[in-house]
Amino acid sequence: MKTISLLAALSLLLIVGIPGQTAAQRGKDFRNVNLNAGPEVAFPVNSFSDTHNMAVGGSAQLAIPFAFRFFMLAHAGYNRHWGSGDNSVVQIVPYRVGARMRLIGSTYIGAQVGAASRIQDDSNVTKLSYAGGVGVANHRIDIGARYERHEFGNVTETVVVRVAYVIGLQVGSARR
């Protein structure tokens, strides 16, 4: 419960404490670095759905442009899955890096790879994690869905739906 409270407080601090940029500063082509954070709901799939129910959590992503329509991503999150039957609660903390490609308009596709920690019954295991997803993002909101897979021995697979607030970050000096 402390982790959820900490993530909620951090998200609120980021949303309220960091001012967004004006439309003139941002530009129309989404070139600036941005941070987005928000809640997410994860639905277990395949064998994981036999032992666990949906999860709630949150995540934050840093998106750094590196080429036209391409962004490097740093992702960190937290999800809490409730167990079904005699299965206990599983908390999953993924941290990954990846890339996002902007397609037509505000739509994008992306992929990430990294690690995830599974916390269950006072044990902690960290293994390979990867994800791929699609979404729609503008300068204020990012709505996306992704497939995640965590290789904990017993594979954990989820489909995650996320809504995030986008915060434009001023990086470097302004050009004139």
Question: Residue 81: inside a domain, yes or no?
Answer: yes
Using pLDDT thresholds of 50, 70 and 90, give the confidence band for residue 172.
low
Question: Residue 77: inside a domain, yes or no?
Answer: yes
And the tokens for 102? 């902007």
Domain with 146, as residue range(s), is 2-21+31-168
pTM of the model: 0.75
* pLDDT of the residue at 47: 84
Summary mean pLDDT of the chain: 82
Question: Residue 60: inside a domain, yes or no?
Answer: yes
Instruction: Report CA dihedral (71, 105, 131, 45) to the nearest 10 degrees.
Output: 170
CA atoms of 67 and 90, how far apart (whole Å): 38
pLDDT 10s digits, 17-72: 333 433 333 444 445 899 999 999 999 998 888 888 899 999 999 999 988 899 99
* pLDDT of the residue at 12: 40
Tell me how many domains the chain contains: 1
